[in-house]
Structure 1
C-alpha cells in the first residue's frame, strides 16, 4: 500500500478549501449583483410604485422593474453562467486553456442562420421565438452535427480531428456570412452587424423559463460527469485505465456544452470571451476539480455577464450598448495575456 506524504495530503486539503471558498464567494457575488442590477438604470425607480405593482396596480416603475429590467437581468445571468460552464467543458476535453464554446464553429453556424433570416425578412413568432432565433439555433446545431460527422468519418477519431473540423467550419461559415452581408442592403447589414455584436434584451416568461431549464439541466448533468472530466483532462489514458468510457463521456459532454452554447447564441448573439476568461480565472483560483469549477463557473459567469450588461445599458444613457463590446474589451487583453504567459497553470 502506498503511503501518502503529509504535505501532499495537506496541499490537497487546502486546494479543496480554496475551491469551496471560490464556490461560496462566487455564489454570494451573484446574489449581490442580481439584487442590485435591476435597481440601476437610466430611469429612476419609485419603490412605492414597485410595491403597488405587486398588489395589482399598473404603475410605471413597476412595469420598468418587473417587465423590463428583471427579465433582462435573469437572462443575462443564465447566458453568462451557461457560456462559462460550456467553456469549462471545452477547455477540459480539448485540454487547451484557450478553448472557448465557439471553438467548434457553433457561433459561426448560428450567425449564418441569423444572417439568412434577416436577409430573407422572415417574420412572426413560433412558440415565443422569432425566426432569427430559430434560424440561429438551427444553424448552430447543424454546424455541430456536421463537425462531429466530419470528425467521426476521419480515420482514427480524436479530439484533434474535432478541433480541426471546427476551425475549418469557422473559416468556411465566416466566408458565407461575409458573402451574405455583401449582398444585403444597408438596413439588413446594420441588423446583421448588431446581432453579431451580441446583446441581452428583454424577454418573455416562456422564453426565460426555457432558457433556465436548458442551462440548469445541462449544468447538473455536466456536474455529475465531473469525476470522468477530471481524469480525461489529466490524461485520456489514465481515464481508460480507471474504467472511464472516454469517447462516450467526450461525446456526451461536448454535445451538452455545444447544445447550451447554440441555444444561448440564438437568444443573445455571439457574446465573446465569457467562456474563455471565467473558466481560466477559476482554474487558477480553485484548481482543476470540475465539481468545483462547474458550480463556480455557473455563478461567476452569471455575475460577470450581468455586470457587463448593467454597464452596457447605463454607461452612455439612453444608448443601450451591445454587451459583446464590453466583454470583448475585457476579454481581448486577457486573451493576449494568456498567449504571452509562460507559466503553465492549466493542469
Structure 2
C-alpha cells in the first residue's frame, strides 16, 4: 500500500524533479500529436500537395509570403487545421477525464458522459437552436455549455441528498445520479425536438448530437486548447493522489489524502473539460471509456505515466477518426461519433474478453 510520503503533494524541489522527469515523455507525446495533426491537415477529401501544406503553414505561422492558391490555403488553414487541433484537444480531454473517473469511482466502465454532462449539453443546444432560448442571442455552443453545467450541478446535488456526501458512498451515488440525470435530459431533448423542431432542424441537431467537427474554427481552438492544457496540468498535479485512490477511499484517507477535497477538485475538472468539449463538438462516445484501458495496458497503472499516455492516445485516435469521417464516404462527411463507436465498441469488447481471461 502507498505510504503517506508517496501521496503528499510535492514541495517546489520535488515538483521540479517531477517536471523534469515528465519533460521527455511530454515532449515526445507532443511531437506525436503534432505529427497526427499534420496528417489531419494533409489528408482530406480534396487532394492537396504536401508542398502547398508546408507553404500555407509557413505563411501563417512564420509570416512568409510564399505563393499559394487562396482557396487551398483557406481550406487548409481554416478548415482542416482547426478540425485537427480541436479533435486532438477533444480526444485528449475526454481520455484523461476517463482516467480520472475510473480511478476515483473505481469503476472500469466510468467515462466522462457518466455524469450526465453530454445529455445536459444536448438539451442546452436544443433549447438554444430549436426552441430559440435567448431570442437567438445564445449560440449552440453557449447553450450546450450552460446545459452541461446545469446537468452536472443537478447530478451532484442529487448525489448529495441521496447520501453521497460521504467519501465512502459518494462514488456510487454519483454514478446512479448521473444515470438518472442523463435519462431526464435525454427525455427533455427528445420532447423539445418533437414539439418545436422542423425536419431540417431535427436533422441538424441529430448530426451534432453524434459528434460534429464541421463547424469548428479558430475561436473554438482558442477555447479548447487552453481548457485542455489547464485540465491536464491540474490532473497531473494530482497523479499521486489518484494512485492512492486505486486502493479505495478508506485506504487513501488512511495515508493522508484529503479525500473529499481531491474528489471535488478532480470531478469538477473533468466536468468542465467534458462540458467544454461537448459544447464545441457534440457527444463523442467511447473515447473516455476505451482509451484509458488501452493506455493502461501499454504503460501500466501508475498515473504519472498513464495520464500523459492517455492524453496522447486520445488525441491521436480522434484526429485519425476525424480523417476517416471525411474520406470514408466520398462527398459525404460522417459524424465523428459514428467512427469512434465503430472502432470503440469492438475494441472495448476485446478488452472485456481479455480481462475475463486474465
Quickly say closer, same or farther: Cα 1:282–1:47, change in 2 above 3 A.
closer
Q: Structure 1 stretch 296-305 or stretch 315-324: which is displaced more?
A: 315-324
Q: CA RMSD in A?
A: 2.6
| TM-score in terms of structure 2 length | 0.83
- 1:33 is aligned to 36
Task: Name the TM-score, length of structure 1 as normaliser.
Answer: 0.86
Equivalent-residue separation in structure 1 for 2:129 and 2:70 (angstroms): 35
Select the residue among 124, 136, 149 that pairs with 1:141. 149
Measured in 2, the distance between the counterparts of 1:110 and 1:101 equals 13
Match of 1:12 in 2: none
Cα separation, 2, equivalents of 1:247 and 1:170: 24
Q: Do the aligned partners of residues 325 and 144 (structure 1) sit closer, same or farther apart at CA in structure 2, a change above 3 Å counting?
A: same
Question: What does the per-residue CA deviation read over 1:28-79, in whole Å, with 9 as the maximum and x for residues that have no partner?
Answer: 5423322222111122224565527813466222222212211111111111
The structure 1 residue matched to 2:159, chosen from 146, 151, 155, is 151
Provide the residue aligned with 1:131 in structure 2: 139
Matching residue of 1:93: 104
Structure 2 equivalent of residue 16 of structure 1: none
CA drift of 1:94 comes to 0.9
Whole-angstrom CA distance in 2 between matches of 1:124 and 1:321: 30
Corresponding residue for residue 60 of structure 1: 71
Partner of 1:343, secondary structure, is helix
Q: Is the 8 A contact 2:163 2:173 kept in 1?
A: no
Which residue in the other structure is 1:212 paired with? 225
Q: Distance in 1 between matches of 2:216 and 2:134?
A: 17
CA contact (8 A) 2:94 2:273 kept: yes
Among 258, 265, 290, the alignment partner of 1:245 is: 258
Q: How many residues align?
A: 324
Change beyond 3 A, Cα 1:289–1:193 = same
**Following TM superposition, by how much is the alpha carbon of 1:122 offset from its aligned partner in structure 2, in angstroms?**
6.0
Structure 1 match to 2:312: 299
Displacement of 1:205 in angstroms is: 2.6
What is the Cα deviation at residue 343 of structure 1? 3.1
